[in-house]
Amino acid sequence: MAISLKINFASLKGALPLAISNSIAKSIAAIGSLVLAKIYGPQDFGIYNAILSIAYIFTVVVSFNLDSIIILIRDKKEANSFFYGTFWTASFSTLIGLIILFFINYTNIVVVSSSNIILIILAMASWLTVINNSQISLLTKNKEYYKISVLIITLSVTTIGFQFIFHQTEYKSNGLVYGWALGLLFTVLCALFTSIRSIRDTSLYSFKNNIRKYADIIKQSYFASLIDVISSNLFVILTLAYFSASEVGVYSLASKILTVPLSILSASFLKFYAEKASVLYEDSPTELIKLTKSIIIINASIVLLFIILMNSVGFYILEIYLDKKEWANLQYYVLILSFWILSRSMVNPISSIISVIRKNRWSLIFNTFILFISLLSLYVGVKEQEYLICIILYSILSSLAYIILLIAIVKNLKENARKKIS
């Protein structure tokens, strides 16, 4: 049977404000990253990205993935209560997590260690990220796309701005970290200031009731998200441990460049798609298939075009702008990671469908496999003392994993549609 490639643009109307704001924010972040990478150098840029990777893991640990549940709650008052409960849960768990980080750092039981001030900033920034993500989920639930757009742009502009400022001070060695934390703090304070009145009418009973109601989703999605974030960021952390900060910097810059369109599109469509899918899966499965297909085609087409440009004209631009000796192998990293980015572009923007169809076990299996791929790739690379081998193995094997997951998702949606029709 022939597959229609007609794109249903009408169903994407709600994502337009987010697409525009994310395009602006991610463009600012991409240009800012290139400039910051040049002025800070691969060493500081690598250390910063390793700290970010640890923070991403810490964020998922302390959030229990509760922010993703807000979109699934249909009643507005209950959603507000859940946001309030998530705020205090994250606050308490962050404090406990910081104590554990101090203990780990003090006992030197890990390869990578850090100063206490960096650990405090890391924990604070992770907590702020949980609050920011929860706020965006709540605004998405209430269809307040304009406010989300403002927050996204504010975070990008303030973070880059503070990082530039710190480079001009005596604290420039950690200026990227300090600027990132202050940008988050400013954005979260702005968000809370504008919405504090709407979340006053909250109920602890409602929060507990929804925890029980979505207990299975929370447990399964939490462990799946935890394995996902570990597999995605362990690569960078262990690279710093077994190779060098400069190699982390080069890899991170290549990854950031390639993920610009993917980040824009995923951030634009992910929460919008989750909100639509939660309704359409039961009420109109055929429309959900059309929406899903449209998002996949748009994402893959844009990312493929960007990859072609980056591996042709982009090479010459980077060679002119960046020091070849400092950023050695950057063009090879960009080429190798292109396969991985293209496969991700077809799955990431619709990944929330896994929770909607209650197949969180798929995420757990998939992310466990990605974690295995990360460890295998790093083991071979460390054994051969060649980081390029790590990247090649990781890119090829993870690309195959994403394609298999996409096939499983599409198959489930079609089976659901057939059941509803019959």
Q: What is the mean pLDDT of residues 379-406?
A: 92
Per the model's pLDDT, the better-predicted residue between 405 and 351 turns out to be 405
155 with 240, same domain: the answer is no
CA atoms within 13 A on the CB side of 422: 6
271 with 327, same domain: the answer is yes
Quote the crossing angle between the two packed helices 387-421 and 285-310, to the nearest 10°. Answer: 160
Per the model's pLDDT, the better-predicted residue between 15 and 253 turns out to be 253
165 with 258, same domain: the answer is no
Looking at residue 195, its pLDDT comes to: 65
Q: Which of 213, 228, 243 is the last residue of a domain?
A: 213
Cα 199 from Cα 82, distance rounded (Å): 10
In tens, the pLDDT along 355-378 reads: 777 777 787 788 888 889 989 999
Per-residue pLDDT for 9 more than 70?
A: no
Backbone torsions φ then ψ of 73, nearest 5 degrees = -85, 120
Per-residue pLDDT for 238 more than 80?
A: yes
Q: What HEC string does the chain produce? A: CCCCCCCCHHHHHHHHHHHHHHHHHHHHHHHHHHHHHHHHHHHHHHHHHHHHHHHHHHHHHHHCCHHHCHHHCCCHHHHHHHHHHHHHHHHHHHHHHHHHHHHHHHHCCCCCCCCHHHHHHHHHHHHHHHHHHHHHHHHHHCCCHHHHHHHHHHHHHHHHHHHHHHHCCCCHHHHHHHHHHHHHHHHHHHHHHHHHHHHCCCCHHHHHHHHHHCHHHHHHHHHHHHHHHHHHHHHHHHHHHHCCHHHHHHHHHHHHHHCHHHHHHHHHHHHHHHHHHHHHHHHCHHHHHHHHHHHHHHHHHHHHHHHHHHCCHHHHHHHHHCCCCCCCCHHHHHHHHHHHHHHHHCCHHHCCHHHHCCCHHHHHHHHHHHHHHHHHHHHHHHHHCCHHHHHHHHHHHHHHHHHHHHHHHHHHHHHHHHHHHC
241 lies in some domain = yes
Cα 224 from Cα 135, distance rounded (Å): 22
Q: How far lies 358's CA from each of 29, 218, 368, in Å?
A: 34, 11, 18
pLDDT band at 348 (very low <50, low <70, confident <90, very high): confident
Per-residue pLDDT for 337 more than 90?
A: yes
Per the model's pLDDT, the better-predicted residue between 8 and 218 turns out to be 218
Token readout for 47 is 């250390």
Per-residue pLDDT for 10 more than 80?
A: no
158 with 223, same domain: the answer is no
Percent share of the chain, pLDDT over 90: 32
Token readout for 88 is 């205090």
In tens, the pLDDT along 100-145 reads: 888 887 776 655 556 788 889 999 999 999 999 988 888 878 777 7
299 with 193, same domain: the answer is no
Looking at residue 166, its pLDDT comes to: 94
Radius of gyration for the alpha carbons in the chain, expressed in angstroms and rounded = 21
197 with 324, same domain: the answer is no
Q: Which of 235, 229, 226 is nearest to 397 (CA)?
A: 235
399 lies in some domain = yes
pLDDT band at 339 (very low <50, low <70, confident <90, very high): very high
Domain holding 57, by residue range, is 12-213
Cα 337 from Cα 259, distance rounded (Å): 10
Looking at residue 92, its pLDDT comes to: 94
Looking at residue 110, its pLDDT comes to: 59
Q: Which of 159, 165, 180 is nearest to 25 (CA)?
A: 159
Q: Which of 161, 184, 213 is the last residue of a domain?
A: 213
Looking at residue 3, its pLDDT comes to: 39
Cα 227 from Cα 215, distance rounded (Å): 18
6 lies in some domain = no
Looking at residue 202, its pLDDT comes to: 63
Q: What is the mean pLDDT of residues 234-250?
A: 88
7 lies in some domain = no
pLDDT band at 97 (very low <50, low <70, confident <90, very high): very high
> What burial class does residue 121 get, using C-beta atoms within 10 Å of its C-beta: 0-12 exposed, 13-18 middle, 19+ buried?
buried
Cα 56 from Cα 228, distance rounded (Å): 11
Looking at residue 36, its pLDDT comes to: 93
Domain count, the chain: 2
203 with 223, same domain: the answer is no
Cα 155 from Cα 328, distance rounded (Å): 31
4 lies in some domain = no
102 lies in some domain = yes
Per the model's pLDDT, the better-predicted residue between 343 and 363 turns out to be 343
> Cβ(225)–Cβ(57) under 8 Å?
no
151 with 224, same domain: the answer is no
Q: What is the mean pLDDT of residues 215-231?
A: 81
Per the model's pLDDT, the better-predicted residue between 11 and 76 turns out to be 76
233 with 121, same domain: the answer is no
185 with 42, same domain: the answer is yes
Looking at residue 180, its pLDDT comes to: 95
By mean pLDDT, which of 31-40, 153-162, 266-275, 286-295 is the weakest? 266-275
pLDDT band at 161 (very low <50, low <70, confident <90, very high): very high
364 with 287, same domain: the answer is yes
2 lies in some domain = no
Q: Scan for tokens 């507990």, then name that residue.
A: 208
Percent share of the chain, pLDDT over 70: 90
Looking at residue 6, its pLDDT comes to: 47
Q: Which of 163, 181, 213 is the last residue of a domain?
A: 213
36 with 74, same domain: the answer is yes
3 lies in some domain = no
For 118, left (φ over 0), alpha (ψ -120 to 50), or beta? alpha
- Residues in CB range of 376: below 8 A, 6 or more apart: 393, 397
Q: Scan for tokens 């072609």, then name that residue.
A: 308
Per-residue pLDDT for 223 more than 90?
A: no
Cα 19 from Cα 21, distance rounded (Å): 6
Looking at residue 164, its pLDDT comes to: 93
